A and B are shown apart, each in its own frame.
Chain A
């Protein structure tokens, strides 16, 4: 399965217990709960929650619809702003987005409206006879989208809605991007990601060609020639490396790679179990990794970060999830050396303690060792340069390693747009990728129709 972890044992728990461990982190609201919760919304004007939602969902309106038992109407409101509203409802860090802005957080009330949960309620319970959006008359324009992640899917849906035909080129077997391969299993359970993709494709006019990779069997040059516009939603396909010796030793792995296997596994009992493990990093990926290993049955999970709690990328809510899963959060320590046993496999790691000197992170000189059967790296995702390898692609202006775009999501090359994690705009979040895709589609549409009118 995962070669570098093949030597490890399997989970002790049986399939049923494991399935239970990976069930919904936040179970759905029932009718009564939804009605009560929706009644708490004050129907704010210029609502702060909408302001804080990267995809600009009209939150007071959909909540009012829920309260008036118009679930379909609520769902349509959500989907018209965010076609992946179902996964966003489950994976958004609402504690730093809409729910953080909710006026009911104010000290007089101290509990925000559970916007994410209500959004999920609406989408879970809306029963559409047919796809709720109808395509505009065909424009005859064709747009290529590379990457079937949240950004690409959102862009494709909005383009199809406007009457354009879309071909998505996707490297992987399944569509969905990190929704399918990356999000913690207990946030997006069962085959939700695929069901959501199926729903989205119902609009028609979107063809997905799997197994096609930009930079391998596809060039930007040819796409730009064959299509009226191109959208790049490539995500961050590479994982950052530590840059130290023995990084590829058995027992060392990128967290995203493990999560990918976990999400795809039909039988969780067959996964490798690292009873003692170390997770390096401090973002949500690190937390996801640590918690999922703990849920598989690992008894000694250490998340090690070189700075303090307050610097962690993971939200407090995420950190609480980790603590509840008995994950130990160790701060102010950085990897110094991978420790191997005589067969060359990971047996632990030596760390050196860190502190700030005049605002700069320095080693104190003090070291300590942690025993571990595996070490998972979650120190960030990186843009995979190999995708942009043809003459036109190499021309693309970059923003750091990522693709540079303007406010309209257009790259430095006319007719080529990009969005989601592969750009530096906004946060690396599902909801942000959806918004980018949507805005890029609108920009592409405006551009294509402008050309039509001019012609």
Chain B
């Protein structure tokens, strides 16, 4: 079996699956249950200065798919609502009882050096393996100048990271907010400040839905609502892109990344790792299914690694980074054409109407004698956009077949049709 153990920014863990700083890691009770279930590490629910934060009711809402499966979740919870002292005591005990697991403590205090200087030694004394700076919480705390209010200003990110590196000997992971325009600016700032790693993403500003009877967004507090932070499967594509952007940025190349956002299966995790992550963190999937999901994640990942001949995570970590590039470097001569497997086709007509109405009129609908329709790709019209394959309800029914057009590699930089082409 493949070895799932990791050493991430100097922190050891038996597997790369960590629970993200959130309700699943709120207190010793949860964390012990998580460790019993087999999680490789946790990032403790964010600690702050006393007095502890106070939460409202209700707190969560969701964006659903057609079968009421949760596509994304939204929350307006703040950082820990328990006192610093209790949290520190529990962290100390848990780390003592579970020495082989990674225990990282998430922190958020005001953006003044004194505040960080005061809390860091207390955390270090617990025996924790590292700290994570919560520069991402997009609601509530940000109104008080913390969380994403810090994460959105690169200078603040750099400054606070430096204070932490100065006043603490533990590895410092900077957790980034996605509520920015260019994630590389934040990552570069953390890197300049001396961060040992970055983790991302925290939640995305969101309103999931509106109660049209009461005319108020969800979740409802009294007769009002406020925007919250979005997480779960729907944010995975956004997180993956941000991870890739950092992984392939020359300025931050090699900076360890802990991937977060919509991870719920071994495959999700493997994708984050392929794009450069050294560990992954999970929140929503655990909140919706319980801690037991780590079982299938570990089993699936190691079996897949075995099938690929990967002995450790390093063997494939970052492997997809080199293949992620700018549009201008893509091969403009590469061509695929849709091919329908008539045996598998159930005749729903979705590919036809999608291509006919909104793409390239490349799928003919041929009425048969019995009134049914046969759908055939018109090769000459197909541009290979994948739309039909995406809308087809049958798995593997439409294949995008690579065409051998005899043309060699050509990118836009060198394409004669580009007025600004680089002339060789």
Asked whether B347 lies within 8 Å of A39 as measured between CB atoms, the reply is: no
Alpha-carbon distance A103/B67, docked complex (angstroms) = 19
For the complex, is B350 an interface residue (Cβ under 8 Å from A)?
yes
For the complex, is B344 an interface residue (Cβ under 8 Å from A)?
yes
Asked whether B348 lies within 8 Å of A103 as measured between CB atoms, the reply is: yes
For the complex, is A128 an interface residue (Cβ under 8 Å from B)?
no
Q: Which of A26-45 contact B (CB under 8 A)?
A: 35-36, 39, 42-45
Asked whether B350 lies within 8 Å of A44 as measured between CB atoms, the reply is: yes
A115 to chain B, nearest CB (A): 14
Interface string of B197-228 (1 = CB under 8 A from A): 00000000000000000000000000000000
Q: Which of B40-87 contact A (CB under 8 A)?
A: 66-68
Interface centre among B68, B346, B353, B371 (most CB of A within 10 A): B346
For the complex, is B384 an interface residue (Cβ under 8 Å from A)?
no
Asked whether B350 lies within 8 Å of A43 as measured between CB atoms, the reply is: yes
Collect the chain B residues with CB atoms within 8 Å of residue A103's CB: 346-348
Alpha-carbon distance A47/B347, docked complex (angstroms) = 8
For the complex, is B352 an interface residue (Cβ under 8 Å from A)?
yes
B63 to chain A, nearest CB (A): 15
Alpha-carbon distance A106/B67, docked complex (angstroms) = 21
Asked whether A42 lies within 8 Å of B393 as measured between CB atoms, the reply is: yes
For the complex, is A109 an interface residue (Cβ under 8 Å from B)?
yes
Q: Which of A101-120 contact B (CB under 8 A)?
A: 103-104, 106, 108-109
Known: A36-B67, A67-B66, A108-B394. A42 touches B348 (CB 8 A): yes
> Taking CB as reference atom, which chain A residue is nearest B67?
A39
For the complex, is A48 an interface residue (Cβ under 8 Å from B)?
yes
Report which of B66, B348, B393 forms a contact with A45, defined as CB distance below 8 A.
Answer: B348
Collect the chain A residues with CB atoms within 8 Å of residue B371's CB: 51
* Main SS at interface, chain B: loop
Collect the chain B residues with CB atoms within 8 Å of residue A43's CB: 350
For the complex, is B372 an interface residue (Cβ under 8 Å from A)?
yes
Asked whether A106 lies within 8 Å of B373 as measured between CB atoms, the reply is: no
Alpha-carbon distance A51/B371, docked complex (angstroms) = 7
Q: Which of A325-355 contact B (CB under 8 A)?
A: none
Alpha-carbon distance A42/B395, docked complex (angstroms) = 14
Collect the chain A residues with CB atoms within 8 Å of residue B365's CB: 46
Q: Which of A1-57 contact B (CB under 8 A)?
A: 35-36, 39, 42-48, 51
For the complex, is B233 an interface residue (Cβ under 8 Å from A)?
no
A69 to chain B, nearest CB (A): 11
Collect the chain B residues with CB atoms within 8 Å of residue A45's CB: 348-350, 352-353
Interface string of B370-397 (1 = CB under 8 A from A): 0111000000000000000000011100
Collect the chain B residues with CB atoms within 8 Å of residue A51's CB: 371-372
> Taking CB as reference atom, which chain B residue is nearest A105?
B346
Asked whether A108 lies within 8 Å of B346 as measured between CB atoms, the reply is: yes
A261 to chain B, nearest CB (A): 41
Report which of B350, B352, B372, B394 forms a contact with A48, defined as CB distance below 8 A.
Answer: B372
Alpha-carbon distance A44/B352, docked complex (angstroms) = 10
Asked whether A106 lies within 8 Å of B350 as measured between CB atoms, the reply is: no
Report which of A39, A46, A104, A106 forms a contact with B349, defined as CB distance below 8 A.
Answer: A46
> Taking CB as reference atom, which chain B residue is nearest A38?
B66
Asked whether B372 lies within 8 Å of A109 as measured between CB atoms, the reply is: no
Collect the chain B residues with CB atoms within 8 Å of residue A42's CB: 348, 350, 393
A98 to chain B, nearest CB (A): 13
Asked whether B346 lies within 8 Å of A39 as measured between CB atoms, the reply is: no
Collect the chain A residues with CB atoms within 8 Å of residue B395's CB: 108
> Taking CB as reference atom, which chain A residue is nearest B365?
A46
Known: A39-B67, A46-B365, A51-B371. A104 touches B350 (CB 8 A): no
> Taking CB as reference atom, which chain B residue is nearest A47?
B349
Interface string of B240-276 (1 = CB under 8 A from A): 0000000000000000000000000000000000000
Alpha-carbon distance A36/B69, docked complex (angstroms) = 11
Q: Which of B330-374 contact A (CB under 8 A)?
A: 344, 346-350, 352-353, 365, 371-373
Asked whether B346 lies within 8 Å of A46 as measured between CB atoms, the reply is: no
B121 to chain A, nearest CB (A): 55
Alpha-carbon distance A51/B349, docked complex (angstroms) = 13
Alpha-carbon distance A48/B349, docked complex (angstroms) = 9
Report which of B66, B68, B348 forms a contact with A44, defined as CB distance below 8 A.
Answer: B348
Collect the chain A residues with CB atoms within 8 Å of residue B349's CB: 44-47
Collect the chain A residues with CB atoms within 8 Å of residue B346's CB: 103-104, 106, 108-109
B353 to chain A, nearest CB (A): 4
Alpha-carbon distance A108/B395, docked complex (angstroms) = 9
Alpha-carbon distance A103/B372, docked complex (angstroms) = 11
Alpha-carbon distance A44/B391, docked complex (angstroms) = 11
Asked whether A39 lies within 8 Å of B348 as measured between CB atoms, the reply is: no
Alpha-carbon distance A42/B394, docked complex (angstroms) = 10
Collect the chain B residues with CB atoms within 8 Å of residue A104's CB: 346
Collect the chain A residues with CB atoms within 8 Å of residue B347's CB: 44, 48, 103
Collect the chain B residues with CB atoms within 8 Å of residue A106's CB: 346, 394
Alpha-carbon distance A36/B67, docked complex (angstroms) = 6
Asked whether A46 lies within 8 Å of B373 as measured between CB atoms, the reply is: yes
Interface centre among A43, A44, A47, A109 (most CB of B within 10 A): A44
Q: Which of A57-116 contact B (CB under 8 A)?
A: 67, 103-104, 106, 108-109
Collect the chain B residues with CB atoms within 8 Å of residue A35's CB: 68
> Taking CB as reference atom, which chain B residue is nearest A51?
B371
Alpha-carbon distance A39/B67, docked complex (angstroms) = 6
Alpha-carbon distance A35/B64, docked complex (angstroms) = 13
> Taking CB as reference atom, which chain A residue is nearest B353?
A45
Collect the chain A residues with CB atoms within 8 Å of residue B373's CB: 46
A174 to chain B, nearest CB (A): 37
* 18 pairs from A and B in contact (CB 8 Å cutoff): A39-B66, A39-B67, A42-B348, A43-B350, A44-B347, A45-B352, A45-B353, A46-B349, A46-B373, A47-B349, A51-B371, A51-B372, A103-B346, A103-B347, A106-B394, A108-B346, A108-B394, A108-B395
8 closest A-B pairs by beta carbon, nearest first, are A45-B349, A45-B353, A106-B346, A103-B346, A39-B66, A44-B348, A103-B348, A42-B348
A residues whose Cβ falls under 8 Å from a Cβ of B:
35-36, 39, 42-48, 51, 67, 103-104, 106, 108-109
